[in-house]
Amino acid sequence: METTERPLPELVTVAQRQAAATGFAWSCIPEVGRLLMLAAAAKPAGVIAESGTGVGVGAAWLHAGLGEHASLVTVEQEPDRAARAAALFAADPRVEVLVGDWRLLEAHAPFDVFFCDGGGKREDPERVVDLLAPGGLLLLDDFTPSNHWPPRHNGEIDELRLFYLSHPKLCATEVMTTPTSSAIIATRLSAAPNR
């Protein structure tokens, strides 16, 4: 659990203020943000991608872990949100904010880190997996923890979560981010899994 005392990266604070000022309520929580920062830091020369920029909170977390030789590309379909996020990173040539559908990201693949948060996750999960580089990390948040296998949501098998957790090209796990929310972290296998 995140404590209120732990300092946040400066751009995260700025982006959070923008989210509050514009009533944007779907930014990632700090517990997810710290996973994003860690993932970006784990790929110091990597291509880091995000679908669904919002106003830039998740991108600011990724940016906090961004290596000197890494790049961050994020896409948002709402032009006003994208413009706010682009302004945050205007001084950093490593960052590109695209305006449009998440498929614009494809031109920048393969990804060493992919925070799939707006577009792709539900519509075309197979394509999401294919956009990862071998060893690339995929992060997906906003799941509801389940004690069952296969995982359930509202009494039904959660087919989407099952897809990511059992995909043969991924090694994946689910981590609690708060007592009532979880995230999936997966890495793209470079060869057929032995499991």
Interface residues with ligand SAM (CB under 6 A)?
Answer: 26-28, 50-54, 57-58, 75-78, 81, 101-102, 117-119
Residue (77 or 146) nearer to ligand SAM, CB? 77
CB of 33 to ligand SAM, least distance (A): 7
Alpha carbons 30 and 119: distance in angstroms, whole number: 21
Residue (52 or 136) nearer to ligand SAM, CB? 52
CB of 98 to ligand SAM, least distance (A): 9
CB of 58 to ligand SAM, least distance (A): 3
* Chain centre to alpha carbon of residue 45: 18
* Chain centre to alpha carbon of residue 148: 25
Contact 27, 55 (CB under 8 A): yes
Alpha carbons 190 and 167: distance in angstroms, whole number: 13
Contact 99, 70 (CB under 8 A): no
The conformation of residue 140, written as its DSSP 8-state character, comes to: E
Residue (17 or 148) nearer to ligand SAM, CB? 17
Q: Which helix (H) or strand (E) holds 71?
A: strand 71-76
Residue (59 or 132) nearer to ligand SAM, CB? 59
* Through-space distance between the first and last CA atoms of the chain, rounded to whole angstroms: 32
CB of 159 to ligand SAM, least distance (A): 20
Question: Which residue of this chain has its Cβ atom nearest to ligand SAM in the complex?
Answer: 118
Alpha carbons 152 and 165: distance in angstroms, whole number: 13
Residue (27 or 71) nearer to ligand SAM, CB? 27
CB of 128 to ligand SAM, least distance (A): 12
Contact 35, 114 (CB under 8 A): no
Residue (22 or 173) nearer to ligand SAM, CB? 22
CB of 88 to ligand SAM, least distance (A): 11
Contact 102, 51 (CB under 8 A): yes
